[in-house]
Amino acid sequence: MLTKVYGIDGVVEASYLFVSGKTKLRAQFKDGIVDAGRERPATLITRDPVVQLIIEHQPLFVNGNIRIVSTTVEQLSDTEPEKKSRKKVEKSTDREAVNSVSIEDDGTKVYDKVTNIGQAVNVLMDLGAKADQLTSPTDALATAAKLNVTFPNLKLK
């Protein structure tokens, strides 16, 4: 599961209403500090891939007013699968995986550097998929098939 922390510098709190198609999202950024000598961005934390996509396709994000402060991936531990314990692994926020594509002879677009569902959803949104088509990993994979896209190294757990 991909958890992202978004931040807005220079404010203590901010509330935005983002609209994407028929979807409306109220985003509350809070706990910022603006003080002489100290500053911390107001933040919003989410694990929801649809919320992440909506935020990342807003002009405030594209223009840099909202930024990703950190990204964390939670994975099941390989040593204790029966307990389903979770281990956090830090991931970079670069878009290299999303922008790296090869095209097979039959026209299939292969994104071999995409390794998590968040990256896959970003690719699909960039290719024109709507957020309401990507509400679950199963929906995302079905949409990828319709768009003739594959993610050979995608790990869903």
DSSP assignment string, 110-121: E-TT--SHHHHH
| Single pTM value for the model | 0.50
Distance, in Å, from the CA atom of 82 to the CA atom of 39, rounded to the nearest integer, reads 43
User: Taking residues 30-39, what's their average pLDDT?
Assistant: 87
3-state secondary structure of 58: coil
Asked if the model's pLDDT at residue 103 lies above 90, the reply is no
User: Taking residues 106-128, what's their average pLDDT?
Assistant: 83
Note the pLDDT of residue 93. Answer: 40
User: Taking residues 104-124, what's their average pLDDT?
Assistant: 84
Distance, in Å, from the CA atom of 87 to the CA atom of 111, rounded to the nearest integer, reads 26
Asked if the model's pLDDT at residue 114 lies above 90, the reply is no
Q: DSSP strand E in the chain: where?
A: 2-8, 14-20, 23-29, 33-35, 38-40, 42-46, 66-76, 86-90, 102-103, 109-110, 149-150
Note the pLDDT of residue 157. Answer: 65
Asked if the model's pLDDT at residue 62 lies above 50, the reply is yes
Indicate the residue type of 109.
K
User: Taking residues 34-44, what's their average pLDDT?
Assistant: 88
Considering only residues 90 and 31, tell me which one the structure prediction assigns the higher pLDDT. 31
